[in-house]
């Protein structure tokens, strides 16, 4: 029996041995957004030590969760295997579960492009979705979220986008929404869109302010049971 094995013959235990080590699930979260290079993963996980990142990538490969793919031109990327990708619904559900217990950010907490992308998918309600194109800015992260026919697609926008003529791939968004971490309160339904605007939690800097209602309907995480009554 491996040294750090839990010593149980059980599906949950096997899962935890595959993706339960420290940082492993966050690596998988970022890879669910798309294939990433070693350096991309480092940027998306600012506090991960580099030796831990390479150790985890090796372990995830041995577990059949992640695959290493050389790029045709140069370099290489890590990507999920089909088996690794099949964890997506679990990741989304886990994100919703954790969302209920999120308080306000601790000093030093960051919001990364991949985590916000995943959070949008987590909060996406296909049944209530209103078709629209949003540009969303939270902290340093800028995303383009396209809601079309009940489907969500999220693309990351490079922050210092130099406006070189002709290379802009997207049409103008219907609304440009600028927010901070307090956007959690809007998605969680703690505040209405009107209250969020009034309290400066979010701002609609382009497009009609009413599109914030569509946004709040499309991206919503209901407090299912009890979020977490007593906290430390």
Measured torsion, CA atoms of residues 99, 59, 82, 20, in degrees rounded to the nearest 10:
-30
Sole binder of DNA in the list 8, 14, 54, 228 (CB under 7 A): 54
Asked if 181 contacts 189 with a C-beta cutoff of 8 angstroms, the reply is: no
Angle of helix 11-19 versus helix 24-33 axis, rounded to 10: 80
Sole binder of DNA in the list 13, 55, 81, 192 (CB under 7 A): 55
**Does residue 47 touch DNA according to CB under 7 A?**
yes
**Does residue 8 touch DNA according to CB under 7 A?**
no
Please state, in angstroms and rounded to a whole number, the distance separating the CA atoms of residues 148 and 130. Answer: 8
Coil vs helix vs strand at 198:
helix
Considering the complex, state which of residue 93 and residue 161 has its C-beta at the smaller distance from its own copies.
Answer: 93
Please state, in angstroms and rounded to a whole number, the distance separating the CA atoms of residues 184 and 220. Answer: 9
Residue 37 binding target from DNA, its own copies, none, CB below 5 to 8 Å by type:
DNA
Min dist CB 66 to DNA, Å, is: 11
Please state, in angstroms and rounded to a whole number, the distance separating the CA atoms of residues 139 and 113. Answer: 10
Considering the complex, state which of residue 103 and residue 166 has its C-beta at the smaller distance from its own copies.
Answer: 103
Min dist CB 4 to DNA, Å, is: 5
- Binding interface with DNA (CB under 7 A): 3-4, 21-23, 37-40, 47-52, 54-55, 57, 68, 75-77
């Amino acid at each position: 029996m491996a040294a750090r094995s839990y010593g149980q013959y059980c599906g949950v235990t096997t899962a935890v041995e595959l993706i339960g080590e420290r940082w492993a699930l966050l690596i998988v979260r970022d890879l669910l957004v798309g294939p990433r290079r070693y350096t991309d993963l480092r940027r998306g996980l600012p506090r991960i030590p580099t030796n831990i990142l390479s150790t985890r990538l090796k372990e995830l490969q041995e577990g059949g969760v992640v695959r290493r793919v050389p790029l045709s031109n140069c370099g290489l990327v890590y990507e999920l295997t089909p088996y690794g990708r099949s964890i997506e619904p679990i990741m989304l559900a886990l994100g919703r579960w954790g969302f209920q217990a999120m308080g306000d950010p601790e000093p030093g907490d960051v919001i990364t492009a991949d985590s916000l992308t995943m959070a949008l998918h987590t909060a996406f309600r296909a049944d209530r979705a209103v078709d629209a194109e949003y540009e969303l800015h939270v902290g340093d992260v800028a995303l383009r979220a396209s809601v079309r026919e009940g489907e969500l697609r999220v693309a990351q926008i490079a922050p210092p986008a130099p406006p070189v003529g002709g290379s802009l791939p997207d049409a103008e968004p219907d609304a440009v929404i600028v927010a901070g971490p307090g956007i959690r309160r809007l998605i969680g339904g703690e505040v209405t869109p009107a209250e969020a605007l009034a309290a400066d939690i979010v701002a609609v800097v382009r497009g009609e302010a009413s599109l914030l209602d569509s946004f709040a309907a499309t991206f919503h995480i209901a407090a299912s049971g009890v979020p977490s009554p007593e906290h430390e």
